[in-house]
Every structure is written in C-alpha cells, then in structure tokens.
A and B are shown apart, each in its own frame.
Chain A
Amino acid sequence: MTLLAVERIKLLTTRSPLWCTLLAVGLTVGFAALIAGVDSESPVTIASTQFGYNFGLVVVMVMAALAITTEYRFSTIRATFQAIPNRSAVLLAKATVVAVVSGLIGLVTAFGSVAISKLIVSEADLAINTAFEWRAVAGVSLIYAIAAVIAVAVGTLIRHSAGAISLLLIWVMLVESLVSLIPKIGDDIQEWMPFYVANKFLTGNPDLTNRPLEEGPPPSSAVLSPWWALAYFAGIAVVLLLVALFTANKRDA
C-alpha cells in the first residue's frame, strides 16, 4: 500500500496526468459528438459512440510511458530506488497506479461518449443492455488499463520518452494495420497483433447490434472470442512487464 501511495503522489503531483486526461476525454468524447451530430443517415448506436476510443488509448499510453520515462529523464528513478531498493515492487506499484488512472480515464471517456451522443441525438436508443454493449463501453476502461501497463513496460525498457512514445505510436497506428499488407501471411499475423486482438474484445463477434460496418470501430477479425482476446492482450502486457522488471533489476539505475 505504501508503494501505491508513493506512486500516486508522484503521478498526481506532476501535470501530465491532468493534461492527458483532458486531452483523452476531449478527443474521444469530442469525436463521439462529431459522429452523433454529423452523421444523420445511420442511427446512433452504442458501438458508434465508441468510434474514437483509439484516440484516448493513444493519449493514455503516452501518459503511462511518460510516467516512467520522465523518472529516467530526471533521474528521479535513482532517488526512488534509493528510497525503495526493491525495484520490482516499485515498478509493479507504478504499473498498478498508472493502470488504475488509465482505467478511470477509460470509464470517463467511454460513458462520456455515450452521454454526449444521447444529448445530441436524444431519440437514439443508447441504453446499455447486452453483454456486447457493456463490453463496448465499460470494456474501454480495461483496454486502457492494460495498454497503460504495456506502455509502462516499454517505457521502462527504453527509458527515453521520445523513443518509447514513438515506438508505441508507430506500433499502434502503423505496424498493426500495415502488417496485413505482407503477402500471404500478413492477415494471419495481424490476427495476433495485440491491439488488433484487444479491439476484438470491444467490437465483439458476432456484433449483436447488427450495425453496419462503417459505424463504430472497425471490427476485428481476430479468431479469439472476446474474453479470450482480453486475456491474450493482458498476457502480452504481463510478459512485457516481466521482461521490464527483469531488465530494471539487472541494469544500473
């Protein structure tokens, strides 16, 4: 508990979480408002309100990566390891705190997106009833939390803000979608890309709302069932975090 409190103090006494929260909420909820307001052809659904979750995801990952890379940048990681020589405990606490904050941001953005859509298109049916709808909305929180752990792990391994953030962004925005362009095996590889699989958890299979493809985040064709998809995504986060812990323990601070 002590270490969680330490990491909470550290995270909340700098400005980046505040800015990142505002940015994540602004982008995601703003995009939901845009979809609800502009697209009058097709009905607003729960799925379509979550169209912009990827923007928030990217911001959350930037915040998570910065939470650890700035410690290396300003050598506060040394002050930290000096105060708490158990490095694994420190990094686990940091990953936990950042994941919880990211999860909360996820809740705010996801339900905020639903709320603003309802405000704009008051006649839309945006009641959250089905398992799919719950996953599509509340699930965003889980995905943000796990993605934050991945970002902390990558940040720990790379230690430089610019390097870690570029790697994460390039991976999420480019590599996972471009990998399908590889002839023959490209699609098979893409099915196992972590964020592509994570999307499966949110967009489901089959999509019970029968919404048209263009409404909502593009569905994932990953072969795993939604909950297995989440487990797979979380598993990757755990493996990366373990590698990061091992490295941090071996390395000079």
Chain B
Amino acid sequence: MESVASFALLLAFVLTLYAFAASVLGAMRRKELLQYSSYRATAAVCALVTVAIGCLAYALLTDDFRIAYVAGHSNRALPWYYKITALWSGQEGSLLFWSWLLSAYGMLAVWLNREKHRAMMPYVVATLAFVQGFFLTLNVFIANPFQLFAMNVGGQMVVRGPLDGNGLNPLLQYPAMAIHPPLLYLGYVGFTVPFAFALATLLTQQAGEKWLVTTRRWTMVAWLFLTMGVILGARWAYAVLGWGGYWGWDPVENASLMPWLTGTAFLHSVMMQEKRGMMKVWNMVLIFSTFLLCIFGTFLTRSGVVSSVHAFAQSAIGPFFVTFLGISILFCGWLILERLDYLKSHQQLDSLVSRESSFLFNNLLLLAACFSVLWGTLFPVISEAVQGVKISVGAPFFNKVNIPIGLLLLFLTGVGPLFAWRKSSLGSLRRNFLMPGIVSLAIGAALFALGVRQLYPQISFILCAFVALTVFMEFYRGARVIRQKSGGSLLVAAVTLTQRNTRRYGGYIVHFGIVLMFIGFTGTAFNTTHEQEMRVGDQMEIGRYRLKLLELTETDNPNYGSAHAVLALYQGEKQLSVLRPERRLYKASRQPTTEVAIRPRLNEDIYIVYAGMSEEGGAVITAHINPLVNWIWIGGLIVVLGTIVALFPSRPGAGTIRGKGRTVVLEEQTEANHKDEVLAQENA
C-alpha cells in the first residue's frame, strides 16, 4: 500500500510539473489543446494526492506501524476519529494534507472558471501548479509520510514496525481539534486561489474588473474558513490548555491572525476598486501579502524558528520555505512594478468625509495591527541576531500595542458604514451619528456608575454599543421602507432587505458579530482567579461563589488514566452544579494533561482546573471566573453566518411579500438603474 501511495505522490509531482509547463506553453503559443491538457493534469493531480492521503488514513485506521508516521502519531487504543486527526498532527502528514487541499482547490477553481476566464486560466493553472509543485517536492523528497520502519533483526535490517505506536499528542485529543486544523488549512490554502487569479490578471493585463468578483468570492471563502479556524483554535486553547484564557499571542496563533488581518483589509479595499476603480496597486499588494503570510505562517509552525507550544510538527524544512517565500516575494514585487501602467487608476476623492476615506484608515489600522503582530513575533529572533541576547515578547506587549489599534478599528467599524460613497453631508452625519453617540455615551456613564472604571473596558463597551446601534439603524431604516411598500412584519422586511444586497447586509451582520466578540474580549479585564490546596470537605471562596471539594476519584481506560476532583458549586446556600475537572495521563505518550470543567453562562464562565496534587497530599484547585467570555463564541458564529449571507448572490428583485409589491419593486429597480446611468454620465 505504501508503494502505491508513494508512486501516486511521485506521479502527482511529475504531472504538476507537466501542468505548469503545458499551461505556460499553451498560453504563450495559444495552443488550446495544451491548455486543456494542463487542466486535466490538475484534476489528475487531485485524484493522485487523494489516493496518497487515503492510503495514509487507511494505514492510521488499521494501525500499520510499519509506517514511521503512523507509529509516531497514533496507537492502538486511540479512538478511530482521533486516528483520522493524526493525519495532520505531524510534519509529513500535515504537509500532505496541505497538498491535498490545494489540489482540490485547484481542480475546483479550474472547473468553475475555465470558460468564464479563458484568457487567464492558463496562468491561474501555472501559479497553482507552481505552489502545488513546491508542496509535492516536500511530500516526495523531504518529508515523505510513507517512510517505513527498519529494524535490526539478527544483524539484518528488515521492515518491521513496533507493536504499538507513540500515540497522538494528548493536547490534540479534543473534539474541536478534530476540525480546527482542517478549517485553518482550508483558509490558508484557499488564499492560493485569489493569489493565482491576481497574478494571472497582472500577467495577462485583463480589461475590466470581472476577475475581481471571482477573486473576491474566493477570498471570502478562504477568509470564512480562516475565521472559523482561528475561533475554533481559541476555543480549543480555552478548553484544553487550562490557563483560563483563549489567546496567548503564541507565534503560531499570531501566524493565523496575520493573513486574517490582511485578508480583511483586502475584503474592504476591494470595494473601492469595484465601486470607484481605485486602489488597484494596493489591492494587488494585499492579496499577495495575504498569500505570502499564509506560507510564512506555515513556515513559522514547521521550522521551529520561534518556540511555540502549538508547533506540533517541526523539522529542518525551514530553508525550503524561505527559498519559496523569497522567490515569490521577488516575482510578485517585480510584476507589480512592471505592470504599474496597467494598474493606473482614476484616483479622485470628492470629499475627505466619505466612505473612501474610512476604508483607507480601516486598511491602515488593519495593516498596523498585522505589522505589530509580525514585529512582536519576530523580535526575539531579531534581537538575538542584533545583540546576541534573546528578548521575549509575550502577551503583555501584544496587548499594550494592539488594544488601542483594535479599539480604533472598532470605532471605524461603526463609523465607516455611516459615511456615504463620494461625500457625506453634514445633515446625514448628524442624523446617523447623534442618536447612537448619545445612547452609547449614556451606557458608558451607567457602566461608570456601576463601577467599571478602567479606561479600555469603558471605551470598548461604549464603542460596542455605538457600533451595534449603527448596525441596528441600518437594518431598521431599510426594513421600515420595505415594510411601507410591501407590508409584512419588520423582521420579514429585514430579511428581504438582506436578500436584496447580501454583501452589504451580510457585512453588517459580520460587524455585529465582531461587536459581540469585542464584548467577550473586554470581559477579560474583569477575570478573577483563585488557587487553593484542598482536601475533601474543604471550601474555597471565589467572587460570590463557593466551591466545596466532595471527592477525588480515579478512572482508567486503554487510552489514558484519569483523576477527577468532584466539586460542588454554591451561590449562598444554593447548590448550582457539580463540576469535575480532571487530570489525564496518556499511556502511549506518557504525557499528562488537564481537562478543565466549565460552567458556561452568558454573563460568566466558572472555569475550574485540577492543577495536581501538592506534596502535602492536597488537591491544587485553580478557579477562574471569566465574565462575558461566551460572547466571543456567539459573536464568532454570527461572523460566520454573516459571511455565508454575503457569499450568496443578491436578489435585487426580492421583496414580493404575499404576491404584493412586485411591480413596485421592479419599477424601483428600473429607476435605480436609470439613476446610476445618469450618475455615471455625470462622472464621465
């Protein structure tokens, strides 16, 4: 089986080289046959890599410990679903997983666009094949997951695996971890497609902005997956790492945040190009940066250049990534400079108080946040290179630098959509800002009176209220007009409104989700922690709660042995629940872990960690009260929902409620189109 898989990978590598050569030659010599041949090669590569990854999954499920990767990352007692997740838990497997996702994305991109973007597609295929070729080089020659175990038996080397494997890293044995890496990878890899389209656009100097719609949609898909991956990663850290938080500014966490920030900047600034034909160079820079940051993130995770608790798979493949990154940066930079004339656009601003200005500042803040994260992540390496002393950069640095930037971004999230394109009149500003401003300031005053005295939380809550109100206003105003025309309830009118412009109102839903997430982030300022050594019957006070240790128990299964602390949670004399934090010792890897017990509520989580046994024989219990933290996960879900809404095509004709109003809507649409034509003529 391993021979079939290795051969499939080798053949995939050869076909990738062919796809690259055929697409480039086909485009240069205008040979359609060669071009179509390269498209089919892309599909064949996908099929072959699928065979290879299928073989690895089969080997993991059947405990084929002759294969070194299986022996290193799985064991017999591991549940079958975690055996599947072992696919991406190690270096070789995760690189193969990357290759597989890329081949699937590549095939899908070719299949969906081969007729729509005929001139560009050969270059899209060439770019995808170039990236695919890099990863298949790693799969075949550097980090092959199908290497066999050879043992010395009686002086002769024979292929024979150990009786049992080392097991999966215990930190990865958590349900969210089964889907977090694939989602993150779907995000990382997904950005290759818009990168390929952008590169092909520059190479072929496409007329018009049709390619931009395709690129934007692919970017949104990748951004959606990356968002889900990042949020699930935070949830995993919260539930598994057991330190009470969800984001430790670890280099690998930072690596996933950076392309998210530049991708977000692109999704905003691309509107400037679509709507006004502006910022063409900048958009190219953003889409290239996003892709390169994805590769850089993988490099950080894999190379061991920075130490990280998340870097599950490390080896000496760093130089290959550095070379690939170097070539890509040089080529992209050269191409942008070479095509500056093509990217020249009409840059005219009617007013400084406009949507255009707000997008520019939005991009500035997102990029500043990205730079500060990159700088902080690399500073230990830079400081060691410059002065020979390694300087640590931990969470306090990132919080100090990024919280002000984040709050400014939140402010723009509320302000930006209220500005009109081209120019905002003083009247509309007053109308849009006055009420949300007054209400949010009143909420701030009330919170101050209630004891919220810290500066950043105060500002954050005020801004959250402000942005939420502006989003609400946007829906309310639009829905009210539709209801007047078509009847029905306000809720139905809001749905109709959203259907008519999914991108705009999906975006507002995303903004609302971000607000909820900021509410959750702000809750961190009010976290409470208490640690106490407890014996059975002892009690611990934390905040308005009381914990009583009822018993200490032990259980065992083939995968791990565990010790539980059973605690009753009281508020006053009322027992609220029984919590069972746990310590596990995984047998195969001999690694201990903590399994926290959480009592989740919308206002706060009670988060209990059984830290271990003290020398005196007492159980060390750490209790955290984490206010508002669940709003992060709820907000995350809403962000995902909003992005899905924005991905659906708009239905400008939507709004016929119970058969009424169809004519009215169609008339409105015709009028609107006419108005646009007049505006375009005026501009010209």
Answer yes or no: do A and B interact. no
